[in-house]
Amino acid sequence: MRTSFGERMLDLVVTGFLWGIRIAILLAIVIGTIVTVSKGHYTSEQWIGFVVFGVAQGAIYALIALGYTMVYGILRMINFAHGDIFMTGAFGAYFVATWLNTIGFVDRNPFLGLLIPVLFAMILAAAIAMLVERIAYRPLRNAPRLVPLISAIGASFFLEYAFRGFFGPGKYAYPPIKALDGGWTIFNVEIQKVQVLVVAAAAIMMAILYFIVMYTKVGKAMRAVSESQDTAALMGIDVNRIIVSTFALGAAMAGAAGVLFSLVYRQIDFFMGFTPGIKAFTAAVLGGIGNIPGAMVGGLVLGVFESIGPSLFLEGLGIPRPYQLKDVIAYTMLVMILLFRPSGILGERLSKKKA
């Protein structure tokens, strides 16, 4: 194929520009890191503290990211309402937890007092996700791919403003749980109890999910449907039922993540799903969308980067309030991944498939 001189020049300019971005960002990170480390503002205990915070945050992102990645794997569609499913879980848990708190149940039995709101959040989130699938996505199953995407954004707004309509725009304080106050100091590193709980709970949830997908009949059917809906139907698999189960499973994880998020930040509102939703989407893309272990890895990597990034390289670059730019790191990572490695960290799957 012959290309004109102009086209070749344009190609060269674009490639050069992309390499320029790569080098500039890499340089910024390296220089910033060197300056910060040479100044020695932070002790090594503080750095470990940042990492611990990042892991806890990343575990929440990972839990949400699983829903994005599973739905993408099975329908090749980004469920942009997923962040709001996370919010509905948090709201459900808030009402149950508040009620349990007023009757004094949480103080008497902290374990169940935590577990019951989580279970309720998971069920509520799954139910809402199933409704959204039925109403907003299933009728558009055979439409061009942009159509369900727009419908998903509509569903996202619908959920946000329905909750705003019901519960108002204000913030609600998630009831404090005394058993989770304080923390431990291990080798001078302070670790809060709630961080341990978040990481442990997320790990358990992910292990359960991994077991379901790999070893149960419905999990194997999910993997079969994600390869070919027609062939799966020829096995007698009810494809619609499997798709609904996928939505429900992903939403249950997001619902649980909503509770963990509320335990850390202690407050919820109708818009709380937006930023974590996009962050988790970033995590899913980072790990390789459609890839379940990828979502877990992507979540953790994003959480840690976001947590140490501001002090590690933004501060070194002389940026006045680096913490305010923590979201910029996440979104820069999203753009970088899409530009330079669209298949993500673990995602060879996407390139192999015709998708």
Partner 1 sequence: MSMLTINNVHTYYGNIHALRGINLTIEQGEIVTLIGGNGAGKTTTLRTISGLLKPREGSVTFEGENLAKYKAHELVYKGISMVPEGRGVFSSLSVTENLEMGSFILKDQKEAEKNMEHVFTLFPRLKERRNQLAGTLSGGEQQMLATGRALMANPRLVLMDEPSMGLAPVLVELIFDIIQQINKEGVTVLLVEQNALMALSIAHRGYVLQTGEIIISDSADKLKNDPAVQKAYLGME
Q: Which residues of this chain interact with partner 1, rule CB under 8 A? A: 217, 220-221, 223-224, 227-228, 230-239, 349
Distance CA 63, CA 228 (A): 26
In the numeric block, which tokens belong to residue 254? 């997001």
CB of 210 to partner 1, least distance (A): 15
- At 108 the three-state DSSP class reads helix
Q: Would you say 201 or 232 has its CB closer to partner 1?
A: 232
Distance CA 148, CA 92 (A): 27
CB of 221 to partner 1, least distance (A): 7
CB of 289 to partner 1, least distance (A): 15
CB of 291 to partner 1, least distance (A): 11
3-state secondary structure 247-309: HHHHHHHHHHHHHHHHHHHCEECCCCCHHHHHHHHHHHHHHCCCCHHHHHHHHHHHHHHHHHH
Q: Would you say 195 or 229 has its CB closer to partner 1?
A: 229
Q: Which residues pair with 267 in a beta bridge?
A: 173
CB of 233 to partner 1, least distance (A): 4
DSSP 311: I
Distance CA 82, CA 71 (A): 10
**Closest listed residue to residue 306, CA positions, set 106, 53, 2, 49:** 53
Q: Would you say 66 or 237 has its CB closer to partner 1?
A: 237
Q: Would you say 164 or 349 has its CB closer to partner 1?
A: 349
- Which pairs count as long-range contacts for 216-220, CB under 8 Å and 24+ apart, including other chains? 218/242, 218/245
CB of 130 to partner 1, least distance (A): 19
Q: Would you say 37 or 147 has its CB closer to partner 1?
A: 147
Distance CA 320, CA 152 (A): 38
In the numeric block, which tokens belong to residue 348? 């060879």
Q: Would you say 127 or 233 has its CB closer to partner 1?
A: 233
CB of 220 to partner 1, least distance (A): 5
Q: Would you say 188 or 231 has its CB closer to partner 1?
A: 231
